[in-house]
Amino acid sequence: MSALPLPLRRLRWIGIGLLVVYGVLGLRLLKIQLFDHPELATRAEQQQVGTTRIQNPRGTIRDRNGAPLVIDYPGWDLCVRIRGGASTLPPLVDRVAILARTFGTPEAEIAGQIARLDSAHWFEWQRGVQDPAVVDFAHAHAGWVSVTRRNMRLQPNFPLAEGLLGRCGARGADGGRNLIGLEKVLDPYLASRDTVVRGFRDGRRAEVALAREETTVRPGRAGADVELTIDREVQEVLERSLAGIVERHAPQPGIGGVVLDADTGEVLALASLPHSRSLRDWDYSGDGTFGTRPWMVPLTYVSPPGSTFKPFTIGRALECDDPISLDDVIDCGKPEGTRGPVSLGRRTVRNFKGKRYGDVTIAESLYASYNIGLARIGQRLGVAEMADLLGAIGFAPREGSGRCHFSLPEPWPALGMRTGTTSNRRDWRPGYSDIAWSFGQEMSMTLLQLAYAYTAIATDGVLRTPTLVRSIRYPDGTVRPSPFESRRSRLFQPETVAAIRDTLSNAFTAEGGTLHRIYREHPELFEGALVCGKTGTATEEEPRMRAQLDRPEYKKHSENIVQLVVLGQSATGGTRYIVALTAPHPTGKSRRYTSAGQVLGETGVRLVRFLLDRPVPAPRAGVSEPGDAVPIVRVGNQNSGAAIR
């Protein structure tokens, strides 16, 4: 042992030195916690307090009976953020296993994601989930996965959703992001407003569950519910019917159907096959751009109405200054061929399969759909009268285009509805194009536009623009009518359309009617019902029609598209329905046309029967019956006719 005395003084000085250091630190603390306190506290609060947007539910889209078509569904964003130095994380293998179970993703994929990031400690991944069990699992086993509430949009009816209801993005209520279809059109009503809350946030800007001092900066509100005119039950039946057409008729892709309440113009169902989501399953060889926009055949597919337009020509001929009578006899091609098929310029109009029927009544030429007869009536009416008819239906000249365009009011254009057109005036074929409107050629329209035109025939001569929205129901209980009210305009006098309907009913009941086979084989479908209808064929317009119409070598009437409109009403009165169907021809060969028309016709009649047999829905308040008060529209030469001339 050392004999030196213990150096007590030096120890004391060490102690004093440490106490002096503590004294200095005390002064430093005094400065920070006393003098700098206000500034530091303010800065701390600035970073700790943040505003959070709490998403309120977007409005529900319901059908006319209140059944939900699109709802907000609670969902969550699971976000993984692992950064360096995470010493408390479970081992990488466990992490991968937990993530795989959390996200329902194979472990190999997650391991690959991590490997691509080239670090086991830096990982960021986000995914939306809807299963609360997944969220619970993440809470319990993966504390390093942040969970954020985010509503999602659930559309139980995919065909309707894809083509009409549309989609909305992750937070569709804000900024119209990723909105298409009805979600976009009705966004001003459906959109909710986020509640903005000011409160404490943690260092990752996440809400602090423990926070108690929250203040609402801006109150939010839920979106308004929208009630559509769509009837989910009718929609399902229509979709099944289209599927049945595919099964029996095997057409090319592009089948569509519309069911309208003719009295109100309300669209009860609107279906398309394929719809957007199933496009990839079809061997669709058309214009590929369709994949990028809503695909709803009745809205986005234009074609000439063909023979389905003949009733309008007859109607105008019955009401023109030099009217005809349905009992008048007209030459529809004598066997001797003295007058034979009608030559229009360089073209010859023939009946279906080139048959000649001799002198028949105008009524028969309509229900049996003789082109020669209608061409003669068209010649008699003249282009001015036909232009006036088209103008009354809705065609209007567009400056500089050489065409007349036919559009329906909102919301249809916003939903992607194509405009109907007449062929370009510059490309008119002399002698033919003047008359071709009379049998539904040299023009095109969508199925819904055709169904709209038929509202005049189905009711008392009054056109009713189709509507899709019945009412807006706000969260406070206020119910407001649709912002897209149906517009009405008279096209024909009631007695004219009554006569046309009688004639069209002969398409089923009379021998020689285009749809007589259905009546013969299924008479029970017509019991206690007033059913009439019209078929038509036309060249496929989309994607080739427009090009074909404009080509000078366009020679031959084609039968690529089959159209059908069936009107039905119970014999005891009640709602008048319009069912319009369209389907491309399976092979393009005319021998199959009969089969195609029969399949569509039977489907249409069965749909009408279904509608008539349903319990009669309660009359909607505020809907007035159409009547004579609606003035007839005579647009004359100041509209389409003038442009065409």
Query: Residues in the site for other proteins, rule: CB under 8 A?
Result: 1-4, 6-8, 10-12, 14-15, 18-19, 21-22, 24-26, 28-30, 32-34, 36-37, 39-41, 43-45, 47-48, 82, 84-90, 94, 98, 139-146, 200-204, 206, 208-210
Nearer to other proteins, 85 or 337 (CB): 85
CB of 85 to other proteins, least distance (A): 5
Nearer to other proteins, 140 or 629 (CB): 140
The residues, any chain, with a CB within 8 Å of residue 551's CB and separated by 6 or more, are none
User: What tokens does 523 get?
Assistant: 């008479």
C-alpha span between 146 and 384 (Å, rounded)? 70
Q: Calculate helix-pair angle for 310-319, 371-393, nearest 10 degrees.
A: 80
C-alpha span between 171 and 148 (Å, rounded)? 13
C-alpha span between 375 and 47 (Å, rounded)? 80
CB of 141 to other proteins, least distance (A): 6
Please check whether residue 78 is in contact with residue 102, taking contact to mean a CB–CB distance below 8 angstroms.
yes
CB of 198 to other proteins, least distance (A): 14
CB of 103 to other proteins, least distance (A): 16
CB of 11 to other proteins, least distance (A): 5
Nearer to other proteins, 90 or 286 (CB): 90
The residues, any chain, with a CB within 8 Å of residue 626's CB and separated by 6 or more, are 263, 459, 460, 462, 464, 488
Nearer to other proteins, 15 or 291 (CB): 15
Report which residue type is found at 125.
Answer: W
Nearer to other proteins, 171 or 198 (CB): 198
User: If DSSP states are collapsed to H, E and C, what string results for 336-349?
Assistant: CCCCCCEEECCEEE
Nearer to other proteins, 21 or 571 (CB): 21
The residues, any chain, with a CB within 8 Å of residue 364's CB and separated by 6 or more, are 370, 506, 510, 512
Nearer to other proteins, 47 or 638 (CB): 47
Please check whether residue 467 is in contact with residue 451, taking contact to mean a CB–CB distance below 8 angstroms.
no
CB of 46 to other proteins, least distance (A): 10
CB of 76 to other proteins, least distance (A): 14
Give the residue carrying structure tokens 């009711």: 459
CB of 50 to other proteins, least distance (A): 12
The residues, any chain, with a CB within 8 Å of residue 636's CB and separated by 6 or more, are 388, 391
C-alpha span between 308 and 439 (Å, rounded)? 8
Closest CA to 222 of 351, 369, 72, 362: 72
The alpha carbon torsion through 419, 388, 319, 310 (nearest 10 deg) reads -40
Nearer to other proteins, 35 or 73 (CB): 35
Nearer to other proteins, 85 or 400 (CB): 85
Nearer to other proteins, 142 or 408 (CB): 142
Nearer to other proteins, 79 or 529 (CB): 79
CB of 82 to other proteins, least distance (A): 8
User: What tokens does 575 get?
Assistant: 């709602």
Backbone torsion region of residue 422, taken as left when φ is above 0, otherwise alpha when ψ lies between -120 and 50, otherwise beta? beta
CB of 9 to other proteins, least distance (A): 9
3-state secondary structure of 478: coil
Element (H, E) at 640: helix 640-644
C-alpha span between 158 and 161 (Å, rounded)? 5
CB of 40 to other proteins, least distance (A): 2
> What is the separation, in whole angstroms, between the first and last Cα of the chain?
129
* Backbone φ and ψ of 161, nearest 5°: -65, -45
